[in-house]
């Protein structure tokens, strides 16, 4: 089975690059490799740049697994939500380089990072659950609530609006846009700068600032777990 995530370290920054050769579907294998990359970055005590392949960041969950239902679908969804929760509380800075389209769980990963750089270009970011007939999970509501502006939160979550890159900055999915050719270098430079912050102060402040969001996200994951299992 070929690797879906590449991990490399330079200048105290781990580059974690997703590339499945297509749309970077977030499958069980992709999540396992992303989790392993974060394990390595945490052990290496380095900042992280999380990026997609050229032209796409991630299309979200593997819909074939999701549509089949059963234990694998449950495990995939729970694993994805827990990965985002881990990113929100990660002890070193995480910078996302959004290389293109981000859908559903792919968009939620953007909302879990410390800084989000996007490439300029003709792509969109969308929490598309409602558009494909899925009631937005409790987790999706909370992960969007903690980062999107109030007006854009309503449009993104309830109306499943797709935001072009520039509008995604105003909404809160991204912080800044740079030319695509400069994206990875800009993300690395941002991660280097953030990595120079006093590590303990950065980590403790992150947890303090996000305490309510983390509490809400954790409760939402449990609520989604109960709903998935059909527990009243």
pLDDT tens for 206-219 read: 999 999 999 999 99
Return the pLDDT at 2. Answer: 65
Return the pLDDT at 230. Answer: 75
- Cβ neighbors of 160 (< 8 A, separation 6 or more) are 126, 127, 128, 129, 130, 131
Let me know: does 52 contact 18? Beta carbons within 8 Å. Answer: yes
Strand (E) or helix (H) holding 18: strand 13-18
Looking at domain 5-229, its CATH architecture is Alpha-Beta Complex (3.90)
Specify the pTM: 0.96
Domain residue extents for the chain: 5-229
pLDDT tens for 27-59 read: 999 999 999 999 999 999 999 999 999 999 999
* Residue ranges for the chain with pLDDT beneath 50: 1, 232
Return the pLDDT at 232. Answer: 44
* 164: nearest Cα among 105, 228, 75, 102: 102
Q: How far, in Å, are 26, 97, 99, 178 from residue 181 at the CA level?
A: 25, 12, 10, 8
Written as one string, the DSSP assignment of 170-205 is: HHTS-SEEE-GGGHHHHHHHHHHHHHTS-HHHHHHH
């Amino acid at each position: 089975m070929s690797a879906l995530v590449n991990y490399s370290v330079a200048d105290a920054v781990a580059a974690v690059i997703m590339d499945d050769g297509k749309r970077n579907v977030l499958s069980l294998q992709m999540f396992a490799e992303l989790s392993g990359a974060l394990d390595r970055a945490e052990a290496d005590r380095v900042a992280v740049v999380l990026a997609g392949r050229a032209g796409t960041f991630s299309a979200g969950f593997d819909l074939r697994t999701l549509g089949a239902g059963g234990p694998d679908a449950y495990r995939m969804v729970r694993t994805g939500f827990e990965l985002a929760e881990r990113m929100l509380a990660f002890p070193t800075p995480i910078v996302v380089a959004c290389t293109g389209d981000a859908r559903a769980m792919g968009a939620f990963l953007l909302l879990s990072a410390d800084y989000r750089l996007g490439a300029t270009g003709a792509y969109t970011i969308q929490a598309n659950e409602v558009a494909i007939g899925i009631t937005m999970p409790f987790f999706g509501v909370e992960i969007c609530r903690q980062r999107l502006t109030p007006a854009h939160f309503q449009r993104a979550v309830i109306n499943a609006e797709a935001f072009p890159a520039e509008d995604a900055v105003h909404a809160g999915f991204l912080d800044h846009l740079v030319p695509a050719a400069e994206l990875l270098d800009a993300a690395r430079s941002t991660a280097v700068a953030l990595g120079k912050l006093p590590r303990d102060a950065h980590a403790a402040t992150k947890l303090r600032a996000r305490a309510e969001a983390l509490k809400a996200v954790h409760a939402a994951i449990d609520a989604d777990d109960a709903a998935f299992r059909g527990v009243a």
